[in-house]
Amino acid sequence: MNFLTVDDSSTMRKIVSLALKGAGHDSDEAENGQQALDALKTKKPGCIILDINMPVMNGIDFLKARQADASIKSIPVIVLTTQDDQALKDQAMSLGANAFIVKPFQKEDILAVIAKVTS
Amino acid sequence: MQKLSAFAALGILTSLAAVALSILNLPGIAAVLSALAALAALLCLSIGLSKKNKAQTSDEACQAPAPPSPLVEIQEEAPALAPTSPSGSELEDLLCQAQTLSPFLNAILAAIPQTTEDATFHVLEKYEAVRDITTKAANLARELAESAHSEKGNESGLIISHSRETVQAERRTVQAMAKQTRDNTKKLRLVAKELESGLDFVKGIEEITDRSQLIAFNMAIEAAHIGEKGRGFKVIVGELRTLNDRTLEFSQRISGLFSRFRDYTAEMVSSMAEQSDQAIGELEESMAASEKAVESLIGASEEADNFSRELAQDTMQIDKALDSILESLQFQDISRQMVERSRAILAEIEEKLLSLRSLVGHSEGPEGERATIHFTQTKDRLIGKAITRAEREAISEVSR
């Protein structure tokens, strides 16, 4: 399955990419929400891994934009953030996020969530 | 204190991971994790040193070469920022602490070099490739082993499982053939003996013929003695001689035929024994080679099975090592982001402290009130900028 990893940290994008590659998936990357929206115009991934705190356009604004765009609304989104905050989690889920994972993540956990979200 | 524990835990974790990777013959990654462990140790040491130095005066702390822990120091000095009683010397101390903190944070960021991280990812990618190859090799070995032991499976599995039985059946057939050949040889030898007996019989006929000729000769003499009366007898003797000659000729021909037949049989027996021994020997050698090939094939499949199990274990170990490294890299990245954010917040604190210092001399009256409002606004803005709960709590604690 093809993924789009949206995170301003290149290190974290590589880590996610390696974890996905190990499970037989491939991943494209975007540095923020706006780059992700641009990328989604040309290619629709099977799932989006989304950070929250990013420059230019953060994860919450991206979720709002996704909700308003019918062409990408159905793509599952897994939020992957350092912010262990229940209010933020509730907000993300109310904006259509399919899962919420706090960094640092375990590979097995994220793969299990992916399997659940994309099944 | 929480940060001290976190960095200590990070140091211990990375140290353990480094040791584990050294055991797994991964010195490159182990070195990276060792550097991370050293960084964590440095953080712990810095925090510990700053707590130890807290009894010192602010001027002494400002001049002290040892890097103080900014967050701990700010938290401890926070009451001095109380808007109702701002003190000039306390603000000076705090500003000094903040200014000392900036190079310290820069040093932390410099200690997490991008090149080291890139090198780690490079090693990880190679590691991933090795794991892929290992997985493929294990799968191939397992498939080979499964096909070798398969009863219903694919063609090669059936061939291998039936080859041993086939070779054993062939061996039994060849052994039966060898026995049959030996029996036939024995029978041919008996025939040869019978032929020898026949030859003896023919020799007996020849002896009888010789004696009959002698009798015929004597009868001819006796016939001559009796003169005219023996004329009829002479005719009988003549017929007897003719019969003897023909019998002799016949017996000689029979004898020649028997002799040739005997020689042919003897040659056939000898040739058959020799050729059958050679053919059976070659067949047995061939079957032994087939048996050996089948056994080695079965052995190879068993080795492949064992090999696939070993590879599967290796792959699991590689996966665990990869997970551990990925987790360590996440800790490192999160730590770096936190330090970067702390640095930004600190810069703002430093700026605001400088502006507060100018107001501190007028803490009474309208200036004091303005200072209080300014401080509250600054605190709220900093809390708004904080990302993690820990950062929000730290800023609230500092400005309490």
**DSSP symbols for A58-112:** -HHHHHHHHHH-TTTTTS-EEEEES---HHHHHHHHHTT-SEEEESS--HHHHHH
Residue A48 has a CB neighbour count (10 Å cut-off) of 27
Instruction: Give how far Cα B181 sits from Cα of A42, A63, B357, Å.
Output: 83, 91, 121
The total number of residues shown for chain A amounts to 119
Mutation site, A8, A13, A15, A85, interface B, largest B CB count within 10 A: A15
Which residues on neighbouring strands pair with residue A6, listed in sequence order? A30, A50
The candidate with the shortest Cα–Cα distance to B44, out of B12, B20, B75, is B12
**What's the pLDDT band for B111 if we cut at 50, 70, 90?**
low
CB A62 within 8 A of CB A69: no
CB A64 within 8 A of CB A95: yes
Instruction: Determine the residue of chain A that is closest to B334 in CA distance.
Output: A82
* Residue A90 CA to its chain's centroid (Å): 16
Mean pLDDT in residue range B58-87? 41
Cα separation, A112 vs B15, in Å, equals: 29
pTM assigned to the model: 0.50
B108 has a pLDDT exceeding 70: no
The verdict on B323 touching A (C-beta cutoff 8 Å) is yes
ipTM of the complex: 0.81
B104 has a pLDDT exceeding 70: no
Residue B261 half-sphere exposure, CB side, CA atoms within 13 Å?
16
CB B74 within 8 A of CB B97: yes
Q: Going by C-beta distance under 8 Å and a sequence separation of 6 or more, which residues neighbour residue B299?
A: none
* Residue B340 distance to chain A (closest CA, Å): 12
The candidate with the shortest Cα–Cα distance to B161, out of B301, B21, B51, is B301
**What's the pLDDT band for B340 if we cut at 50, 70, 90?**
confident
Cα separation, B192 vs B265, in Å, equals: 6
Mutation site, B337, B345, B383, B385, interface A, largest A CB count within 10 A: B337
Q: What residues of chain A lie within 8 A of the CB of B117, using their CB?
A: 11
* Residue B80 distance to chain A (closest CA, Å): 30
Q: How many CB pairs under 8 A join A and B?
A: 50
The candidate with the shortest Cα–Cα distance to A65, out of A106, A95, A98, is A95
The candidate with the shortest Cα–Cα distance to B45, out of B53, B34, B55, is B53
Check A11 against B329: CB less than 8 A apart.
Answer: yes
- pLDDT tens digit sequence for B172-221: 777 787 788 778 778 877 877 887 787 788 788 888 888 888 888 888 88
Q: Quote the percentage of chain A above a pLDDT of 90.
A: 74
